[in-house]
Amino acid sequence: MAKILIPTPLRQFTAKRDSVTVPGATVGEVLAALTTEFPDLRRQIFNDEGKLRSFVNVYLNDEDIRYLGKDATPAAEGDTLSLVPSIAGGRWGRRFRLPTPGARGGLR
Amino acid sequence: MIRIEPEPWAAMVAHARASYPDECCGAMLGSTDGDTKIVRQAMALENAFEGAQAARYELRPADLLAADKAARERHMNLIGIYHSHPDCDAYFSITDLRNSCPWYSFVVLSIQEGEFHHANCFLPNADQTEAPKEELTY
């Protein structure tokens, strides 16, 4: 049994609830129970092979489960699970300047 | 569509200018009114990319978790991510797309020679294959 905090954009799949408490003795069981109760959430979190999408990290309280026991990490009553995305990026590979508004002569 | 209120917008532009020539990144907190997302607070986050940051940024998941907690405490929602493109237009690069998340709006600020030039917002899909533009006002 654990509480899962639902990120804002995913609340459309959880009847607008910002947190959900579901049964399960491990993180894997809790996530399975979550997506059983809210099937539309499954595609947001898992890929077609049933694995967590590459950008999804799961935190048990303040710890990434990858550094705990992954899916087998015990989830006790009072624990909180969070779904936290990996986000990065950058303009890599592209560099040019645009005309400055009001500037004469176009590209500088 | 997404609307950024004047105060967070000024903070985002100031953050992007101060970080130039490197990329900056941060979280946008706010609320939703019908189909409109309203950004009420910008939270600057550390660019955690290990390497040259002029063309790359990376957010620590732990920092995003903290931003989400801060939003909940302030009765707001984490609704978007912003980052800057120094001396480059505000497009959604392949690097942005392959490291994106479909849950949030992504605002990109173009900074040209240290000054704000223009901005766009994107909504990447779950498969990280495309990111259509989202109407942005600020």
CB–CB contacts below 8 A, A to B? 121
Pair A57, A85: CB distance under 8 Å: yes
Residues in chain B: 138
Read off the pLDDT of each residue in A74-88 and give the average, rounded to a whole number: 95
Tokens of A26: 């491990």
CA A93 to chain centre: 28
Percent of chain B with pLDDT over 70: 100
**Interface with chain B: mutation pick from A8, A44, A58, highest number of B CBs within 10 Å:** A8
State the complex-level ipTM. 0.92
Task: Output the pLDDT for position A54.
Answer: 87
Q: Do B61 and A84 touch (CB under 8 A)?
A: yes
Domains of chain B, earliest start first: 2-137 (3.40.140.10)
Give the confidence band of A108 by pLDDT, cuts at 50, 70, 90: very low
Give the confidence band of B38 by pLDDT, cuts at 50, 70, 90: very high
Q: Which of B49, B85, B101 sits opposite A55 (nearest CB)?
A: B101
Euclidean distance between CA atoms B26 and B84, whole angstroms: 10
Pair A82, A58: CB distance under 8 Å: yes
Q: Which of A53, A87, A96 sits opposite B64 (nearest CB)?
A: A87
Give the confidence band of B115 by pLDDT, cuts at 50, 70, 90: very high
Domains of chain A, earliest start first: 2-85 (3.10.20.30)
Task: Output the pLDDT for position A16.
Answer: 93
Euclidean distance between CA atoms B129 and B125, whole angstroms: 7
Q: Do B95 and A93 touch (CB under 8 A)?
A: yes
Residue in B with minimal Cα distance to A82: B65
Nearest chain A CA: its distance from B7 CA (Å): 22
* Class of residue B11 by CB neighbours under 10 A (exposed 0-12, middle 13-18, buried 19+): middle
What pTM was estimated for this model as a whole?
0.90
Q: What is the pLDDT of residues B41-95, one digit of tens each?
A: 999 999 999 999 999 999 999 999 999 999 999 999 999 999 999 999 999 999 9
Euclidean distance between CA atoms A59 and A71, whole angstroms: 11
Give the confidence band of B103 by pLDDT, cuts at 50, 70, 90: very high
DSSP assignment string, chain A: -EEEEPPGGGGGGTTT-SEEEE--SBHHHHHHHHHHHSGGGHHHHB-TTSSBPTTEEEEETTEEGGGTTGGG-B--TT-EEEEEE-EEE--TT---PPPPTT-TTS--
Nearest chain B CA: its distance from A49 CA (Å): 13
Tokens of B124: 């990447």
Residue in B with minimal Cα distance to A61: B65
Percent of chain B with pLDDT over 90: 97
